[in-house]
Amino acid sequence: MRFQHETLPQRVGFTPGDAAAAVEAEVKRLRGRRVMVIASTAEADLAGRVTADVPVVLRHEEVVMHVPVAAAERARAAAATHEADVLVCVGGGSTTGLAKAVALTSGLPIVAVPTTYAGSEATSVWGLTERARKTTGTDPRVLPRAIVYDATLTLSLPVAMSVASALNALAHCVDSMWAPRTDPIDQALAGEGIRALAAGLPALVAEPTALAGREQVLYGAYLSAVAFSSAGSGLHHKICHVLGGAYNLPHAQTHAVVLPYVLAFNAAAAPEAEHRIAEAFGAASAHDGLNRLRGAVNAPRALRDHGLAEADIDDAAHAILGSVPANNPRPVTLLDLRRILRAAWQGADPLTLEKDGEEN
């Protein structure tokens, strides 16, 4: 066993019902005196309550999916104009992503308060979109200094969106099993993340107003993001980043739909990872575990339901091909990508990919 693993420096607090007090404490720890709060218009009231006891100089509400460069530049200018010294972001992945864009050029510390299960708050990964192309990278400046997890803040998240967001987290776990920099620690974190998400998500769907399921999903989402930040982007994320940036598809739903197809494509070529995933699900196979979970929570099924046109499949496959990780468990051709995208567009049985792979 030979590997190197870097653990990211970050304070993480699970504080059910106490987000405001926890945020105040984190801002004080960072000696913040001029706080910029980033939250979408839809989250403005919630963000106001969460940041009621910190010295806010600016509330920035222009949050756009996939973080367009122009929106990032406006947020950076606003932070500079108001001489902000701490960023507090309250919301989902797009909100955290915008805070990261500001931190990338300013070095300002971030206190992240997630209201979804996106996991961006636990990674040093940033992403910006310009001219229908999404660019991602890693930088220690964008890693939030602190995360405040409060499951009560997710209670307003509709069940359907909770399912998509949690399956996005699950995709982080699965991709981390065979991503470019994966190691045994990443795989252990990802396995526990799968277990927690598989237990918590059905409970959340069954009792949306109860905290137990939502806390398990938050815990699993955090583990998934820590694993992903270390392991790097695998085939699944390369596909979804292109689809999101080029076609403006919704982030969580895209990940939720694509996941079973990448799993089916890679599983046979990565038997040890497949066994870990199956074991985490408590299932006979990784496919069976994922399929059972998706059926239990009425998961999103087809990319055509979320904005991808059939005519875009070929161009998307060409765009993805250049970013496929060299050490993906199985070689990936343009034809493979077309088959994956078409099956995901249709919502076809993912096992048809596995059978095609055996024939080839």
* 228 plus 115 within the same structural domain: no
Which tens digits make up the pLDDT trace of 87-99? 999 999 999 999 9
Strand partners for 35: 56, 86
Picking from 154, 171, 196, the residue at the C-terminal end of a domain is 154
d(CA 202, CA 206): 6
**One-letter amino acid for residue 347 of the chain:** G
Count up the domains in the chain and report the number: 2
Predicted local distance difference test score (pLDDT) of residue 1 = 83
Q: What are phi and psi for residue 9, nearest 5 degrees? A: -80, 110
The alpha carbons of the chain give a radius of gyration, in whole angstroms, of 20
d(CA 307, CA 243): 10
Predicted local distance difference test score (pLDDT) of residue 26 = 98
Which tens digits make up the pLDDT trace of 54-87? 999 999 999 998 899 999 999 999 999 999 999 9
In a domain, 84, yes or no: yes
* 140 plus 186 within the same structural domain: no
- pTM of the prediction? 0.91
Look up residue 199 and give its two tokens. 């237990």
| Helical ranges in 207-250 per DSSP H | 211-231, 235-247
Range of the domain at 282: 159-359
In a domain, 246, yes or no: yes
Look up residue 205 and give its two tokens. 């769907």
* 167 plus 31 within the same structural domain: no
* 99 plus 227 within the same structural domain: no
* 164 plus 177 within the same structural domain: yes
In a domain, 76, yes or no: yes
* 133 plus 205 within the same structural domain: no
What are the CA-CA distances from residue 121 to residues 94, 195, 302 (Å)? 11, 21, 27
Picking from 154, 178, 210, the residue at the C-terminal end of a domain is 154
* 241 plus 118 within the same structural domain: no
Predicted local distance difference test score (pLDDT) of residue 346 = 96
- On the question of pLDDT at 356 being above 80, the answer is no
How distant is the alpha carbon of residue 20 from its chain centre?
24
* 100 plus 138 within the same structural domain: yes
Name which of 266, 267, 269, 347 is nearest 308 in CA terms: 347
Picking from 121, 139, 154, the residue at the C-terminal end of a domain is 154
